[in-house]
Amino acid sequence: MKRLTIVVLDSVGVGELPDAHLYGDEGSNTLANTAQAVGGLHMPHSQKLGLGNIIAIEGVPPADNPQAAWGKMAEISKGKDTTTGHWEIAGLTLDTPFPTYPDGFPEDLISAFEKRIGRKVLGNYPASGTAIIDELGPEHMATGYPIVYTSADSVFQIAAHEEIVPLEQLYAWCQIARDLLTGPHAVARVIARPFVGQPGAFRRTANRHDFSVEPFGPTVLDALVAKGIPVYGIGKIKDIFAGRGITDSVSTKSNQDGLDQVVEQLARRQEQCLVFANLVDFDMLWGHRNDAQAYARGLEEFDARLPEILEKLGADDLLFILADHGCDPTTPSTDHSREYVPLLVVGQGVQPVNLGVRRTFADVAKTVADFFGVEYETVGVSFLPDILPREGS
């Protein structure tokens, strides 16, 4: 039995990339800046693995004898969103970024959408999800018109009150938008953003659903499934890959729920498999809302759960802990940030070496393929020989 688990700490970047100035992200360092903002993090289990060996983190000093291999990864794809980052982790890189809409979506596109759903829309401009719901929620409740908005990312978001628009209806509208958003308007994700409550006290629910554009080429997930190696998605992984290369999937309501599911999958799955999890609260709840205090608590809560995961690893299992981009809660921006991401590789047979700065997230995909003995072509380079020299040589 050889199992590999990937846990994506959504948005936990570790410092600006050399081209961060092209994205307005100079000075971003999600992990280090968050630690500094709260006077230091308490992450003893991550510290022992070698998290503090990747970059300087207040409260998380370098380990003298790290228990994991450590490094950081650069993104070579154009962009800084969830889909771009996860696709590159799985081996696909983008030469052209997904389209974004700083001035809202074109009128002809909105008109086509309104015609298909049989009603007008509200909004159609970039906004914070919580802010636009507060602003337009009352009118939405009075008219039944959905709230359409975007952000700095390639997203078409539709917000609706669950008591005004049933979830099935909202999801159907999102599928209509997904069908319309093709060609030059092929946004990375259409996102259902349901909410509840009354004016002045609206809150988004856990019934969010992402409708991603389908990957334009094969990922390592496709390669694994084609060889009979199951891939189990946790959280929004299935959505990010439009269901491609996913054997089975479970949605989650929070980081804690996601970690529960990781532990559960490792307890249940006794066959060779890939478990691929995304912990979205760092990004959705804290990064985009510039809440450094809550972001720090989330990091410490993740750290407290690490022993449960490590206990479930078998002799030949590997665990990768990494991220997909940054979302620095200490900067004025509430958008994602163009950053390096951390890489920790854990396993009983892993050599605790410095993996350096990887040129691309796709090194993960090549290493996954190498680990399972599956052929997969990508720009990435496997680091399996560095961490398991006897098996990888």
Percent of the chain as helix, strand, coil, to the nearest 5: 35, 20, 45
Residue 353 in contact with residue 35, Cβ under 8 Å?
no
Residue that the structure tokens 């199951």 belong to: 230
> How would residue 1 be classed by pLDDT, with cut points 50, 70 and 90?
confident
Is 26 in a helix, a strand, or coil? coil
Q: What residue segments make up the domains of the chain, in order of their start?
A: 3-95+215-392, 107-212
pLDDT of residue 319: 98
In DSSP notation, 355-389 reads EEEES-TTHHHHHHHHHHT-----S----HHHHSH
> What DSSP element (H or E) covers 35?
helix 30-37
Query: What pLDDT score was predicted for residue 152?
Result: 85
Q: What is the pLDDT of residues 232-289, one digit of tens each?
A: 999 999 999 999 999 999 999 999 999 999 999 999 999 999 999 999 999 999 999 9
Q: Are 247 and 393 in contact (CB under 8 A)?
A: no
Superfamily of domain 3-95+215-392: Alkaline Phosphatase, subunit A (3.40.720.10)
Query: Could you identify the residue written with the tokens 């290493």?
Result: 367
Q: How far apart are the first and last CA of the chain?
A: 20
User: What is the average per-residue pLDDT within 300-312?
Assistant: 98
How high is the pLDDT of residue 390? 60
Instruction: Give the CATH architecture of domain 107-212.
Output: 2-Layer Sandwich (3.30)
pTM of structure: 0.91
| pLDDT on residue 115 | 98
